[in-house]
Amino acid sequence: MRSQKIGSIAFWSLVVALLTYMTLPTIVVLMTSVNPTEILAFPPQGVSFDWYVKAVTYPDFQIAFKNGLIVTACASTLALIVGSAFAWLIHHYEFRGRGLLEGVLWSPLIIPHFTLGFGFLLLGGAFGVQQGYVMIVLAHMVLVMPFVTRAVHVSLANIDPALARAAANLGASPFQVLTRVTLPLVVPGMAGGWLIAAVLSLTEFTASLYVTGSRTQTLPVAMYNYIREYADPTVSAISALLIIATTLIMLVADRTIGLRRVLAIDTH
């Protein structure tokens, strides 16, 4: 019994140590963002929000944030529309070439982002729209679509098929079944999928580095360019803001759909 207790304490200490390792960088970045001095000194010399002021007034970051919002809004909304329709399709129908189509549309989960970004850069070049919004939006859209499709597919699978049958038997047209029965039931899944897509698009870096130009760069690309030239905590402040924003969005997503289901973590 005693050795079991010691074992349990050792195990939980190990878990806490590993979680500390996982969260340490986030704590460090939050600490430096409120540190008044220029050099990245530890422990912090006080509390100041100067870096936040500098970060949100820095023109490159302002433009990049605006670019990012445009790209994210377009890409995740497009992914939502196309992905939801596709999820509905594979939930209801068997058809020839379905496996191939699914394989291609899931593949961005496997394809290295730099290969995909390079592909979209070359494709943009072939159509003369290199580093323009169209290619950035398309690249982001295909990258985030698997997550939306998955979220909607899970929601669809949880609907009782008797509901649609009952509506149809009572005389509802397929269109009415879709809009008055199915759609209201998958709205939470769609909302959650859209939020995940938006967060992934907003923070996507590698593919964006390829497909954006100096005028169309998104926030992570602007941060990367800043890091390479300067070493002050302005990027810490931006990072802190991004960490807070994404955490809040993911909490909302978790509330609306249950993140664990979308990520397929079924613990119980």
Partner 1 sequence: MIQKRPFFITFLAPAVLTAVILAAAIFEVLQYSVREFIPGSLNVGGFTFANFAALNKPIYWWVLADTFFISLLTAVFSLLASYPVAYALVRAKRDWVRSALVSLSITPLFTGEIVRTFSWMLTLGTDGFINSVLRKLGVIDMPIQLMYTRFGVVVALVQFSMPVMIILLATAIAHVDRDCERAAANLGASPSAVFWRVTLPLTLPGILSGIVVVFAWTMSAFSTPQLIGGGKILMISNLAYLQGFSVLNLPFAATLSLIALVCALGSLALMKGVTGRIERRLAVN
Site for partner 1 in 105-124 (CB under 8 A): 105, 107-108, 110-116, 118-120, 122-123
Q: Which of residues 147-186 bind partner 1 (CB under 8 A)?
A: 174-175, 178
CA distances to 65, 89, 156, 193, 208 from 71, rounded to whole Å, are 10, 26, 28, 17, 10
As a whole number of angstroms, the distance between CA 129 and CA 121 comes to 9
CB of 88 to partner 1, least distance (A): 6
Q: Is 14 in the site for partner 1 (CB under 8 A)?
A: yes
- Cβ burial of 230 (10 Å; 0-12, 13-18, 19+) is exposed
Q: Report yes or no: 239 and 109 within 8 Å, Cβ to Cβ.
A: no
Binding mask of the shown chain, residues 72 to 111, with x at each position contacting partner 1 by CB under 8 A:
---------xx--xx-xx---x-x-----x--xx-xx-xx
Q: Is 202 in the site for partner 1 (CB under 8 A)?
A: yes
Interacting stretch for partner 1, rule CB under 8 A, among 25-33, 49-57, 158-166, 185-193?
25-33
Of positions 6, 21, 160, 229, contacts partner 1 by CB under 8 A: 21
Rounded to the nearest 10 degrees, what angle do helices 133-157 and 98-106 cross at? 120
Interacting stretch for partner 1, rule CB under 8 A, among 45-53, 156-164, 183-191, 234-242?
234-242
